[in-house]
Structure 1
Amino acid sequence: MHPFHYRAGQLYVDDCLVSEIVERYGTPCYVYSELYLRERYHAFAHALGEQTLTCYAVKANSNLHLLRRLAQWGAGFDIVSAGELARVLRAGGDPKKIVFSGVGKSRDEIHAALDAGIFCLNVESAAELERIAEVATKMGLRAPVALRVNPDVDPGTHKYIATGLKESKFGIPIAAAEALYRRAAEWPSIAFIGVAAHIGSQLIDLQPLGAAARRLRDLYERLRDSGITLRHIDCGGGVGIRYHEENAPSPADYAAVLDTALAGLQVRRVVELGRSLVGNAGALLTTVEYWKKNEGKHFCVVDAAMNDLLRPSLYGAWHEFLPLRQSDAPLRDCDIVGPVCESGDFLAKNRPLPAIAAGESLAILGAGAYGFAMSSQYNSRPRAAEILVQGAEIRCIRRRETLADLLGPEEDCLVD
């Protein structure tokens, strides 16, 4: 489920004592298990088979060191910005394994993607397709594209991460996609190579994924029968993980759903997995600053905050908390909150927690995805360090920001 476990009452990640990370690098900080990430990637790649390009969704966690490891293991990459493109290329990712998604690609981003020679641009509107054609014409290229269709499938997840419903900003309505393929099929600067969909994130029930894949198959076959032959079907990702009591699907479960939906179809597959690879590989480490009580309500005030881990405030997300030392102290229901000056700055609500002393630390599990990647400098708080554990070896892969890092871009422009 995750790589964090107790030995003789002390919390470890793989073979590394977590308290040693705290002593060396302080808190708040993120820690990731390379072993867990590697095992998860290879489990999915093996289950999906050689016919599938297994892409990592960079938005989940974009640390260069993790991207480099994934590139070395053979992963492709799903990106949504020029910044993520630059990160993947810097990490050694193969441009021919990069899919560029997202609803708002600028001309500069399209130019950068085509210049790098990426595998595919996933197009999310007719206007974007026209822009890509314009940029590609000026560059003297044919742009490899797939239309990202909106299959209007309810993924049964949080409304902020449901992307396949007709009211979502993502994708082209599936009913309109066939006409757009036909209209642009002869454009000299556009090469249609695929069709794509992504219906949402943290999907525990895989039936909606199967339904979306079947709708992609139907569209693929209609296009093929009309003379438009595509080379791949991109089924997106969104496979959920266990945070609390979820019964998360396995790589084999996911592969079986796609195999059933696409059975007998000789076409390359593409998937875009993020959270399911890196989510439980990581934890956010934090230290208790104070305990306080207001009218019978207990608060555990820690040094991590919503700027470090936004998911609880944004989605009401649940994360497990583990003390670094097992405690037999009585449990106390409390809100675990940070120092940020917002009522929405909480990491857990009404959570039973041992009454550990101020100065003791906690690990917040399931923070490998959408943790550091969504962090900010709100309240002028420098962002946390990131640490990679390789067996018993501890390595800093992003140093903690300093006040100089925070102030520098403004001081350069400061006028007395």
Structure 2
Amino acid sequence: MTDAPDTAASRLTHADVRAARDIIAGRVMRTPMLPAPPLSAITGAEVFVKYENLQVTNSFKERGALVKLASLTDDERRRGVIAMSAGNHAQAVALHASRLGIPATIVMPETTPFVKVAATRSHGATVVLDGETLAESQTRAEAIRTAENRVWVHPYDDLAVMAGQGTIACEMLEDVPDLDMLVIPIGGGGLIGGNAVAAKAIRPAIEIVGVEAALYPSMWNAVHGGDRPVGGPTLAEGIAVKIVGRSTLPVVRDLVSAIVLVGESDLERAVNLYLTRQKTIAEGAGAAGLAAMLAEPERFRGRKVGLILCGGNIDPRILASIMVRELERESRIVSLRITIPDRPGVLGTVASLIGRLGGNILEVEHRRLFLDTPAKGTKLDVTVETRDGSHAHEILAALEAEGLPAVRIESGGGRLG
């Protein structure tokens, strides 16, 4: 990838963002910016959350999509638009193209969660599923663009799109003018680029920190000249971008103080915290800012931090899995493997003991064919709901005292201790 020419014409300005605010006024929700005391207590920072998951399409992408579509000429509107997206940009383009009477075709990776595909189709767009990654989808989208003479609506590498996204920072700083820091997810850089320009113009002292999934450190590589591997399945598919924007990279280099790379466990924990502590839904990319605060708490402690919860389109099955996995990490659900004699009544003894100690048995399975088990014995796998880690250890100790050796195992079968 090469940089965009560093000229005035290629650079986004605060005037562009102000103009974008006029375009979206009354057509895109001005989402709430609220304090988050539970997240502040966990992170040690004073946290405020901008709830872009409350947009009609549950994502900030509506802002940039509308600004871009509104800029089209009558001829371009008749020709229709083409876009590629993992889901949120797709829905935004589909929604506002429909409202403006513009035909829209969206190419999405075959791996896109079904909830995003269905939502995009519901807004009236033609959806083409092609490729495993955004890069592969882009190749198909460019072919359709050429064949059908459509107008390209890029998800991030477009000044109009960046200007639309930058309206978020304007609203955040109107609501909380003395923020010390914005923590912003990075895919191709449209969100952080637009908001960095706007925020620095309004409050020059503010610090802008970017966040990428550790599996997709594309902007980190571009800024630092690095060669970290890029690719793999991530919860944050909305920012799983291999090629950053030519227009966004110079902005990130100039205005972003640091890029934090977050692992999948931090992303999962952040999604779960939004749900359980803030009572709101965040997709992986939407929770990336909070994930960075969990991954590197010292960077943010004591600061007044604004987070953009930029999207809430997550597959319900994935969300349910995350909740269970977090209960396991917190030792509120534990799996035990107990060695017992294979005779009547022993299962009842185990169940009664766990019940007396306040554990709730969720699942039981006998493992008679393990070769390390005596022929007259068996292993019993029991999944138990507990209060916390100390309660789980209390149950383990009680089983040992009853002559029922037990170990704690991972849900996949691996021993924990």
TM-score by length of structure 2 reads 0.34
TM-score by length of structure 1 reads 0.34
**Higher relative contact order structure (alpha carbons within 8 Å, sequence separation ≥ 6):** 1
Greater fraction helix: 2
Greater fraction strand: 1
Could you say which structure has the larger radius of gyration? Answer: 2
